[in-house]
Amino acid sequence: MTAIVAGASIGSYGSMVRARWTHVVSDPRQLHTAYSLESALDELVFVVGPVLATLLATEVTDSAGIIVPMVAALVGGVWFLSQRRTEPPVMPAVPGVKHRSAMRSPGMIVLAVVFVAMGLIFGATDVSTIAFAEEQGSKSASGLILGVFAMGSLISGLAYGARHWVSPLWKRFTIGMVALALGVSLFFVVTSLPVLAVVMFVTGFTIAPTLINGNALVQNLVTPHQLTEGLAWVGTSLGVGVSFGASIAGSRIDAAGAHAGFQVVMIAAGVAVIAVLASTRVLRRGAPGTEGSEGSEGSDSTEGPDSTGVADLPEDGPVSA
């Protein structure tokens, strides 16, 4: 019950932070770096958080592992909301004009489905890793292995944000999703904890870039006044997926062991890849009537607010396809 109250009251900080970055940073290249830094810091929290919570609960008191995060969320939340200089201006409602929901965009529906599937991957991976470590007689190693998973994502997020990319955003997102699916497909052949750690570290490199590109795609698919809503939808979809992934994998693990949980991971990855590959035309269009929309369905020459076209790049800057 406490977890429900905490989850319902914390708000969608990820979407609010990214919306502020969009307001503060006008250069698409700098915005790409900001989004990348944001995702990398998220992964850093996933690395440090479980270790810190465990130390507090075991070395201080059982409740410290819960109380400290609650205080941090309260203090950090108030501090964040007090930053008025970075707060985007409120767009007043125009009498007689109805604002459409961000989810009226077909591309946003695709992103929501894919992010739910990604959440299923992450939630199922967490509980399956713990179960596998327990089967191997070293349950305490699960935290370290999950930290390795997040560390791979942290490194890739920093590296990805340090470069300016000229290939279409929807294409990078598709490639990242396929790479993530290929990585988690190796879970089923893992037979030891060291091998699982290596597979998770390598697979982790696909996570941050895919999340970065997914969040950046929101800018292409919605109008400016829908941006915070759109980011909140993908963040919520990811959280919903994590919850269901942990629950479904947990049930399968109880019935057939850790590898049954890894099967849930692979099925979710397959669903995500199918959804992306079947919807590339939708993802590449952008929001109708905005600068972010691509000129035609068959054109890859422009990409919207996150575009880093060749003409916009500094001659001496690092460039990748």
Q: Residues 144-164: what's their mean pLDDT?
A: 87
Task: Provide the pLDDT confidence category of residue 15 given band limits of 50, 70 and 90.
Answer: confident
Q: Which residue has the higher pLDDT, 53 or 286?
A: 53
Tokens of 175: 């490639």
> Which residue is listed with tokens 């970055």?
21
Task: Provide the pLDDT confidence category of residue 275 given band limits of 50, 70 and 90.
Answer: very high
Rounded percentage of the chain residues whose pLDDT exceeds 70: 81
Report which residue type is found at 35.
Y
CB 126: neighbour CB atoms within 10 A? 21
Q: Which residue has the higher pLDDT, 209 or 23?
A: 209
What's the pLDDT score for residue 150? 87
Q: Calculate the alpha carbon distances from 236 to 14, 35, 78, 243, 274 in Å.
A: 10, 17, 21, 11, 21
177, 272 in Cβ contact below 8 A?
Answer: yes
pLDDT at 309 over 60: no
Maximum Cα interatomic distance, the chain, rounded to a whole number of Å: 65
**Mean of per-residue pLDDT scores for the chain:** 80
> Which residue is listed with tokens 């429900």?
4
Residue 239: closest CA among 54, 8, 36? 8
CA distance 23 to 88: 6
Q: Calculate the alpha carbon distances from 270 to 2, 145, 194, 248, 283 in Å.
A: 34, 23, 25, 16, 18
Task: Provide the pLDDT confidence category of residue 198 given band limits of 50, 70 and 90.
Answer: very high
Tokens of 298: 């068959």
Q: Calculate the alpha carbon distances from 37 to 88, 97, 126, 239, 251 in Å.
A: 20, 37, 24, 20, 35
Which tens digit of pLDDT belongs to each residue from 279-295?
A: 988 888 764 444 343 33
Range ranked top by mean pLDDT from 101-105, 165-169, 236-240, 272-276? 272-276
Tokens of 8: 């319902």
pLDDT at 51 over 80: no
CA distance 173 to 108: 14
